[in-house]
Amino acid sequence: MKIASRHLHRNEVMDAFENSPEFTGTYFDYGRTDTDFEERLKEVQGRTYQREELAGAIRSFLEPHGLSDSQAAHLDELASDGVAVVGGQQAGLLTGPLYSVHKAITVILLAQEKRRQLSVPVIPVFWIAGEDHDLDEINHVFTEQDGRPVKRQYPERFVLKKMASETVYDPEQMESFIRLVFRDHEETEFTKQLLGDTLEAVKAERTFTGFFVRLMNGLFRHHGLLMIDAADRSFRELEKEYFKQFIRESAAVAQAVADTERKFSDEGFGMPIETDAGAANLFYNHETGRVLLSRQDGLFVSEAAGLRFTEEELLAVAAETPWLLSNNVVTRPIMQDLTLPVLAFVGGPGEIAYWSLLKDAFHQIGIRMPVVVPRISMTLVSRNVQHAMAKTGLTIEDVFNGETIVKREEFLDEQRDAELDRLLEETAGLLRSQYGTIMDHIEDPDLKSLADKNLGYHLRQVKFLSDKAEDALFRKYAAALRSYHLLEGDLYPERNLQERVYTPFRYLNEYGPGLIDDLLGQNIPMDGSHVIITL
């Protein structure tokens, strides 16, 4: 593997986050210096956590998926005095887009680095947002065909807005879907085993979250990555008192976020959450699905589901049936920090944007934000892509700069039969000229109309011949054109970074099962730059 860094254009929030101490000081409690990590460590060590219960909940969650020795050791450290580097994601099919894996890699590498620097147990933890109910965000993957990403969507439809951790898929439909996705991949020496392992995971699990965990655990368990599902009932039990605090502080937290977002917007950074002071920032798991609560006239309500709770009634729900409550984008980061000894949080650009609004909300609950670190962003350059670059002479920068299509057209222009094009154009011109003379001579309107139709017929024949010549050109140089299509479709599909489109299975299929292990063995920079990794 070869590693190189590129500085790509980022949005305004990420530019400010990475380059402006004033921005960081305004919207976050810590920067990312060694001193910031040391100060955060002291803060975490001074707080109290339900450590044994937390480790027990994670253990019981992971054991059915397979618990490695390194994971077991990390659980023992977490139950004692360990601190955590945390990142998370929704439970996407086939692990979701590559950035889910990139986030897990960042969590592991950062935990290893801080363990060495701080001389304390630092544990990598992946927080799965299994409570999320928007299945349309996770029920599909993209594969590549003819240089374009193709959306493959799991066909089963779900009427209720149930949490991903409670949504049971049909095993036969899921198996058919996985086979369809794999048929889009080129057959390699690794395909059979990779497909077999994936289908075994389909059979072993039943829910979207379970399937996600089975695959992620297969990739990362030997590196000690712990995983917890936010919707896990035993974990919900640990959240009881914190839900109560959220309910009591609901108005103050909502106002703090609304005020910060207004300031954030006024400074030109947009409105990542679009919240309002009436938000309750909690969901209720109703029989009709997961519904968002708001505050009206002193009550917690969902007009859509016809729900109305007094504060006392909702506090009783938190105490007796906490699994009926779940967090939203505001309370989830705070709940992470209350339940886990979080040294640092690893987030993508979207997450960092909405975390920017939460400093005062954290303070309202009586805690400070953890150190926030951007996840590693990277593009994998496969062997096929390397061959395509060699054939076309294009570089990574060329592709990112949108030059692939221009260079492809220049290549085609060089191969075209210019003399044939000239003759066909000349023929069309002669036909128009001669028929113009004929129609000027004809006085009968019907005959003139017939002549005009006759001209159209001959011009269409010339156009037909021209199109056939173009088809012949594309057939003759199909192999060369595939190289241009591959570069565009793999490295910068539809003007998006690769990591936001494809799953890691596209690259595991080509590189082999050791891809993740090899990536974790590299010295990948975590400085906010985009990393190019040549496989």
DSSP state letters, 211-258: HHHHHHHHHHGGGT-EEEETT-HHHHHHTHHHHHHHHHTHHHHHHHHH
The per-residue pLDDT string of the chain (535 residues; one tens digit each, 9 = 90 and over) reads 898 888 776 789 999 999 999 999 999 999 999 999 999 999 999 999 999 999 999 999 999 999 999 999 999 999 999 999 999 999 999 999 999 999 999 999 999 999 999 999 999 999 999 988 888 889 999 999 887 899 999 999 887 788 899 999 999 999 999 999 999 999 999 999 999 999 999 999 999 999 999 999 999 999 999 999 999 999 999 999 999 999 999 999 999 999 999 999 999 999 999 998 999 999 999 888 899 999 999 999 999 889 999 999 999 999 999 999 999 999 999 999 999 999 999 999 999 999 999 999 999 999 999 999 999 999 999 999 999 999 999 999 999 998 998 898 888 888 887 888 888 899 999 999 999 999 898 988 889 899 899 999 999 998 998 888 778 777 887 788 889 989 999 999 989 999 999 999 999 999 998 999 999 999 999 988 899 999 9
- Can you tell me the distance from the alpha carbon of 435 to that of 453, in angstroms, rounded to the nearest whole number? 10
Rg of the chain over Cα atoms, rounded to whole angstroms, equals: 29
Question: Which has the closest alpha carbon to 13: 355, 257, 526, 255?
Answer: 355
Q: Say which amino acid occupies 66.
A: G
Is residue 8 within a helix (H) or strand (E), and if so which, with residue range?
A: none
* Coil/strand/helix, residue 56: helix
How far apart CA 74 and CA 391 sit, in angstroms, is: 48
* DSSP H or E segment with residue 48: none
Query: In whole angstroms, what is the distance from residue 377 CA to residue 354 CA?
Result: 19
Tokens standing for residue 393: 């002479």
Helix and strand tally (H, E) in the chain? 24, 15
535 vs 533: CA distance, rounded Å: 6
Q: Yes or no: is domain 1-271+330-378+504-527 CATH 3.40.50.620?
A: yes
Report the SS3 class of residue 380.
strand
Closest CA to 489 of 150, 184, 147, 97: 147
Cβ proximity of 376 and 469 under 8 Å: no
**Pairing outcome for strands 122-128 and 226-229:** parallel
Closest CA relative to residue 302, chosen from 317, 290, 312: 290
d(CA 413, CA 138): 42
How many residues are listed for the chain in this entry? 535
Q: How far apart are CA 120 and CA 231, in angstroms?
A: 29
Residues 6 or more apart from 467 whose CB is under 8 A from it? Answer: none
Q: Are 83 and 39 in contact (CB under 8 A)?
A: no
CB within 8 Å of 70: residues ≥ 6 apart: 221, 222, 223, 224
pLDDT for the residue 448: 87
Q: Which two tokens stand for residue 147?
A: 């240089």
Tokens 């889910």 sit on residue: 100
Pull the structure tokens for residue 288. Answer: 């009709």
Q: The whole model's pTM is what?
A: 0.90
For residue 74, what pLDDT is reported? 98
DSSP state of 95: G
pLDDT at 154: 96
Residue position matching structure tokens 């798991």: 285
The C-alpha atoms of residue 513 and residue 216 are separated, in whole angstroms, by 13
pLDDT of residue 284: 95
- Tell whether the torsion through CA atoms of 529, 99, 221 and 332 is positive or negative: positive
Amino acid at 191: T
Q: CATH 3.40.50.620 in the chain: give the residue spans.
A: 1-271+330-378+504-527
Q: At what angle do helices 445-476 and 404-415 cross, to 10 degrees?
A: 110
Q: In the prediction, which pLDDT does 365 show?
A: 97
CA dihedral 356, 362, 363, 366 (to 10 degrees): -170
The dihedrals phi and psi of 205, each to the nearest 5 degrees, come to -115, 175
**47 to 42, 120, 366, 412: CA distances (angstroms):** 9, 16, 11, 66
Q: Kindly write down the DSSP assignment for every residue of 479-525, as one continuous string.
A: HHHHHHHHHHHHHSGGGS-GGGTB-THHHHHHH-TTHHHHHHTS---
Helix (H, G, I), strand (E, B) or coil at 534: strand
Q: How far is residue 44's CA from residue 42's CA, in Å, rounded to a whole number? A: 6
